[in-house]
């Protein structure tokens, strides 16, 4: 299956970044690029892409303006690209839309493309279109983007006696990959997906970070920020950054910013 994609962003470097990331997906075909909203409306009607990577903030006609100008029965799958903070992004998630937060990370892009694949295979484009219509109707609501994202304290905990995960089974296009949780270095949030990092490999799993956190052993895994969980056995260093902030350095060389308190992380490392 070929996925026809249109890239829409008023910044040339942003389009270049998207084009580069798209090149790593063998079934993703970039059918065009647009630098403004009006050009995007014309291209969508002409090229009929399967998915549009659509910048939210553009001069004159923004991403929402593009959607408002399209026929309601021909809305494509849309992946928003945005520099909004996490509070605004919650509005997109509430309508089952995907988004890429700038600067776009490869694992996050891969997760978004996988979500597009699943929607196309399941023929759920109509549901996505309805979600877009709901979002357009709600965009003027003063509370639409004010719901705070869940933090580490919001995660559910397993019931008493419930066993913790020792392995993950991750479906790909042609096989099921079995990953031992002990081998995982970190897990990063990607909307309704997570990117599971094992050595130099990354696997995409359809699961929210909070849901997966509730199934992991809390003595081995620690959520260090809203967007990341680390395996304490693979933490190599805690490096100081600016204004009292720190970065976690893992055994595979990955660096992740942490918002959890330094003393709390040090305690977890001592007794985990």
Domain boundary among the residues 76, 105, 138 is at: 138
Vertex 208: Cα angle to 143 and 239 (nearest 5): 95
Residues 176, 93 share a domain: no
* Phi, psi values for residue 49, rounded to 5°: -70, 155
> What letter does residue 249 receive in the DSSP assignment?
E
- List the domain range (segments joined by +) for residue 167: 160-271
Residue 215 tokens, joined = 């199934």
Is 152 inside a domain boundary? Answer: no
Query: What are the tens digits of pLDDT across the range 108-151?
Result: 999 989 988 888 876 544 455 556 656 666 554 544 444 334 33
Which helix (H) or strand (E) element contains residue 131? helix 125-138
Q: Which residues of 219-235 are buried (b: 16+ CB within 10 A; e: fewer)?
A: ebbbbbbbbbbbbbebb
Residues 134, 9 share a domain: yes
Residue 102 belongs to domain with CATH number: 3.40.50.2300
Residues 19, 105 share a domain: yes
Give pLDDT, residue 127.
53
Give pLDDT, residue 195.
87
Domain boundary among the residues 77, 107, 138 is at: 138
208 φψ region: left (φ > 0), alpha (ψ -120 to 50), beta (else): beta
Of the pLDDT bands very low, low, confident and very high (cuts 50, 70, 90), residue 160 is very low
Query: What are the tens digits of pLDDT across the range 198-241?
Result: 988 888 888 888 889 989 999 999 999 988 999 999 999 999 88
Give pLDDT, residue 86.
57
Domain tally, the chain: 2
């Amino acid at each position: 299956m070929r996925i026809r994609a249109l890239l829409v962003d008023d910044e040339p470097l942003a389009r270049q970044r998207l084009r580069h990331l798209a090149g790593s997906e063998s079934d993703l075909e970039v059918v065009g690029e647009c630098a403004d909203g009006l050009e995007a409306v014309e291209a969508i009607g002409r090229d009929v892409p399967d998915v549009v990577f659509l910048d939210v903030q553009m001069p004159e006609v923004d991403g929402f303006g593009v959607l408002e100008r399209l026929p309601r029965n021909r809305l494509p799958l849309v992946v928003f690209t945005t520099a909004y903070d996490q509070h605004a992004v919650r509005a997109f998630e509430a309508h089952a839309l995907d988004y890429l937060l700038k600067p776009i990370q490869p694992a996050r892009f891969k997760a978004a493309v996988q979500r597009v694949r699943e929607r196309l295979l399941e023929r759920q484009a109509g549901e996505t279109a309805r979600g877009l219509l709901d979002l357009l109707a709600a965009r003027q609501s003063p509370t639409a983007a004010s719901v705070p994202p869940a933090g580490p304290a919001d995660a559910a905990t397993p019931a008493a006696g419930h066993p913790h995960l020792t392995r993950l089974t991750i479906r790909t296009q042609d096989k099921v990959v079995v990953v031992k949780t002990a081998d995982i270095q970190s897990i990063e949030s990607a909307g309704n997906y997570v990117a599971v990092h094992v050595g130099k490999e990354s696997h995409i799993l359809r699961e929210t970070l909070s849901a997966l956190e509730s199934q992991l052993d809390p003595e081995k895994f620690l959520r260090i920020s809203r967007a990341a969980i680390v395996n304490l056995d693979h933490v190599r260093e805690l490096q100081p950054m600016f204004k009292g902030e720190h970065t976690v350095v893992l055994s595979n060389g990955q660096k992740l910013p942490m918002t959890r308190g330094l003393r709390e992380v040090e305690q977890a490392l001592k007794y985990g």
